[in-house]
Amino acid sequence: MLPLLLALAAVQAAPDTPAAASPVGTWANPGGSVIVEIAACGDSALCGRVSWASDKAKADARKHGTDPLIGTELIRNFVPSAVDRWKGILFVPDLKRTSKADLQQLAPDRIKIRGCAVGRALCKSQIWTRSAPHDAVN
């Protein structure tokens, strides 16, 4: 009887659906030149800071007035807007500009970030991939 009760308890404790993917974690841009750590900030918002950057990415950012690049918040106050979607402000260090942006969870290991310079015109998207935290010293 005890094994049957344990089996029933295990079935009842198992979730009916897999856990939803989350953009919380470590992400690399398409070229692998920047790694961003996305974490909760506030009640339901997400923010992301550069945790590692290649020497070229740091030099490009510095050339355009963003120094240091490491620690710079690129993803600001992204709040849920739909299932697997968030809206917020994106900072682009190479342009030293912010824009309204969308983040979409495409898969557990892929997100799409889309920023627009003017309203919904002049938009650009990138697919970022989940990454291990980078151990390099900057």
For the chain, what percent of residues have pLDDT higher than 70? 81
Structural domain contains residue 84? yes
| pLDDT tens per residue across span 14-27 | 333 344 679 999 99
Q: Compute the C-alpha angle 90/96/97, nearest 5°.
A: 45
Query: How far is residue 101's CA from residue 115's CA, in Å, rounded to a whole number?
Result: 4
Q: Are 92 and 99 in contact (CB under 8 A)?
A: yes
Residue 71 CB-density burial (10 A; 0-12 exposed, 13-18 middle, 19+ buried): exposed
Helix (H, G, I), strand (E, B) or coil at 50: strand
For 54, the domain range is: 20-130
Distance of CA 61 to the CA centre of its chain: 19
CATH assignment of the domain containing 99: 2.40.128.520
Q: Summarize pLDDT for 49-97 with one digit per residue, the tens.
A: 999 999 999 999 999 999 999 999 999 999 999 999 999 999 999 888 8
Strand partners, 44: none
Note whether residue 43 is domain-resident. yes
Cβ atoms 5, 112 nearer than 8 A? no
Number of folded domains in the chain? Answer: 1
| Dihedral sign of CA atoms 59, 61, 47, 103 in order | negative
Name the more confident of 9 and 109: 109
Cβ atoms within 10 Å, residue 115: 23
Residue 123 counted as domain residue: yes
Six token digits for residue 122: 């002049």
Q: What's phi and psi for 7, nearest 5 deg?
A: -65, -45
In a domain, 60, yes or no: yes
Q: 13 in a domain, yes or no?
A: no
* pLDDT tens digits, one per residue of 57-69: 999 999 999 999 9
Does 7 fall in a domain? no
Residue 136 counted as domain residue:
no
**Per the domain annotation, does 1 fall within a domain?**
no
Residue tagged 């912010």 (tokens):
98
Q: Hunting for tokens 């309204």 — which residue is that?
A: 100
